[in-house]
Amino acid sequence: MTAEDGPDDLAGILDLADWRRRIGSLYAEVRQLAATDPGAALGHWRATRETMFREHPQSPVLPADRASFRARHFEHDPALRFEVPVEPGPAPDTDPSTSSPGVGDVGGLGAVGRFEGFGGLAGPAGGLTIELPVSVGGAMAFRRIGSVAVPFSAGTRRLELYWMAGYAGGLFLPFRDATNGTETYGAGRYLLDGAKSADLGPGRELDSLILDFNFAFQPSCAFDPKYACPLAPPPNRLDLPVRAGERLQ
């Protein structure tokens, strides 16, 4: 999500501002295109991100790897685009011992990935203020604002929805699934990340969101370990493979 220290020179700061500006514009274009043609929106998203990852100074890809960088994706699956209502308040507690495979392990990140002490204090509007572990160690504060029930073909699964308490704020929906550590990054992927303008917009119904797993993306720490990326907590570990969005292989 963020480099641990961030750029400390003027050129780097302005480059980062330009990166955020371009990503914000990209998602605005995606939302507009997807209203009539989700497939075209996805193609635009893939092509633009690949170019930025290969050419932009603020790319999370290591400089030595940028010239040859090619993004990898699962095939577009229209059945993995959903409009779901957000159910307010904390979701029912999840017992980590019954979560999906890999509980307590984030695919090679070692002790950093152990979700010890997951929990929090009651926050405003019935939310729950929690700290999510971060890939470089430590934690970031989030407010659990509700949950969504996603009607996968294999059965409905529930994911928790968060609001960032610090940094740039915004909605945040990380998830893990059965592809992690093999086809996708071991620590999971992101579906929504307001700090990076990654937001596909509201659904047609009141208090609903568009969740399209074809737009799921690897966090920046999948490319460079200097980045501090919040990790998906136990309630957001799916016990099924989500073969959509970005992949590593």
| Residues sharing a CB contact under 8 Å with residue 1, sequence separation 6 or more, in sequence order | 167, 193, 195, 196, 219, 220, 221, 227, 228, 229, 230
Give the model's pLDDT for residue 128. Answer: 64
Say what the pTM is.
0.82
Strands 171-175 and 189-193: antiparallel
- Kindly state the tokens that stand for 178: 């059965």
Weakest mean pLDDT among 51-60, 160-169, 177-186: 160-169
What's the total number of domains in the chain? 1
Cα-based torsion angle of the residue sequence 130, 59, 61, 200 in order, rounded to the nearest 10 degrees: 50
Give the model's pLDDT for residue 94. Answer: 46
Residue 130 pLDDT > 90, yes or no?
no
Residue 204 pLDDT > 90, yes or no?
yes
10 by DSSP, 3-state: which?
Answer: helix
Give the pLDDT confidence of 32-74 residue by residue, as tens digits.
999 999 999 999 999 999 999 999 999 999 999 999 999 999 9
Residue 168: domain span:
2-247
Cα-based torsion angle of the residue sequence 157, 160, 232, 204 in order, rounded to the nearest 10 degrees: 80
